[in-house]
Amino acid sequence: MIIEYLQLPFAQHALIAATLIAIISGLIGPFVASRDMAFAVHGSAELSFTGAAAGLLIAGDAVTGALVGSLFVATAFGLLGDRPRERNSAIGVILAAGLGLGVLLLSFYKGFATEATNILFGQIFGVSTQDIIILGAIATAILIVIGFIYRPLLFSSLDPEVAVARGVNTRFVGLIFVFVLAVTVTEASQIVGTLLVLSLAITPAAAARRFSANPRIVTVLSILFALIAADGGLLASLQFSTIKASVFISGISFLIYLIARLVQIVPSRRSPAATK
């Protein structure tokens, strides 16, 4: 059944989209974890609904609206939450106001609002050829940007005080990363939905950090785990068509995390006996 489905364009588009989003989500995940920005991921994901509602109301395009809205959200997060102590409070304030605005905008829209509501739960099998092209361009741009700022971003993520002392413009690097984060989360929400976007942007990286402290190894494992969750969940949903892909994706991602925790716990319990 899976092989038959993969011969159809909608399944091929879904698999390509899942792969691209898994790569960029797995790439930024370790930085999100090290910079303690899990709430920023959640906030960006939830506020993509507001952008989608605005896009529907203004131009009849929920996806473009969500992307443009993510840039405004990133700017607000970067400017108002520059200090770590203030970041979560600022995100919470923006999140509350943004969700209220999204509901207001959607109330003025007289057409079918399924495009906006789909972003809450994901609609991977509705990805078109144009969406693939846009997603491919966004993924390429994100890879280029991360490659360009990788060293200062890694330095400022691991030891921000020393990075500032060495002349790294941590505020600029952080703002660029927030932009990348918001765009990535907005794209990921099209697959798993804003309610489950943490399953690709956070969980694979959290599992990878259980296996190694080396940043490069963690990044590779994070991308690998995200690919297994995204592509594996998609293929499973083709086999069991009554269950949404987002359910399988989040489930596989969580299972990987549980395995990582168990792999770490078992050696730690054996180590005292081994030392005797």
User: CA 125 to CA 16: how far, in whole Å?
Assistant: 11
For residues 266 and 225, which has the higher predicted lDDT (pLDDT)?
225
Across the chain, mean pLDDT equals 80
Number of domains in the chain: 1
Structure confidence by residue, pLDDT tens digits, 8-34 = 888 888 889 889 989 998 999 898 888
**Burial readout 77-100 (b: 16 or more C-beta within 10 A, e: otherwise):** bbeebeeeeebbebbeebbeebee
Residues constituting the chain = 276
Q: Residue 164 has what pLDDT?
A: 80
Structure confidence by residue, pLDDT tens digits, 31-77 = 888 888 877 777 777 777 788 788 878 877 777 787 787 788 777 77
- Which residue range forms the structural domain that includes residue 127? 2-275
Q: Residue 205 has what pLDDT?
A: 92
Tally of CA atoms within 13 A in the half-sphere of 165 that contains its CB: 4
Alpha helices in the chain (DSSP H): 2-5, 9-34, 38-59, 62-80, 84-108, 114-121, 129-158, 160-165, 170-192, 198-201, 203-208, 215-239, 245-275
Q: What is the CATH number of the domain that holds 268?
A: 1.10.3470.10
Structure confidence by residue, pLDDT tens digits, 140-164 = 999 999 999 988 888 888 887 788 8
* Residue range 81-107: mean pLDDT, rounded: 76
Q: Residue 212 has what pLDDT?
A: 87
| The pLDDT of residue 276 is above 50 | no
Q: Residue 273 has what pLDDT?
A: 47
Structure confidence by residue, pLDDT tens digits, 102-150 = 878 877 777 665 665 666 666 777 777 887 888 888 889 999 999 999 8
* Residue range 170-191: mean pLDDT, rounded: 81
Q: How far is CA 85 from CA 7, 37, 90, 161, in A?
A: 51, 12, 10, 15
% of the chain with per-residue pLDDT over 70: 85
Q: What is the DSSP string of 128-176?
A: -HHHHHHHHHHHHHHHHHHHHHHHHHHHHHH-HHHHHHTT--HHHHHHH
User: CA 187 to CA 135: how far, in whole Å?
Assistant: 7
- Among all chains, which residue has been given the structure tokens 């402290």? 213
| The pLDDT of residue 167 is above 60 | yes
Q: Residue 223 has what pLDDT?
A: 94
User: CA 25 to CA 88: how far, in whole Å?
Assistant: 21
For residues 263 and 218, which has the higher predicted lDDT (pLDDT)?
218
* Residue range 93-103: mean pLDDT, rounded: 81
Question: Burial, 134: exposed, middle or buried (Cβ in 10 Å; 0-12, 13-18, 19+)?
Answer: middle
Mean pLDDT comparison of 70-79, 121-130, 168-177, 255-264, highest-scoring range: 255-264
Structure confidence by residue, pLDDT tens digits, 200-251 = 888 999 999 999 888 889 999 999 999 999 999 989 988 887 888 888 988 9
Tally Cβ neighbours within 10 Å of residue 10: 13
User: CA 61 to CA 274: how far, in whole Å?
Assistant: 61
Tokens of 62: 């929920």
Whether 163 contacts 156, CB under 8 Å: yes
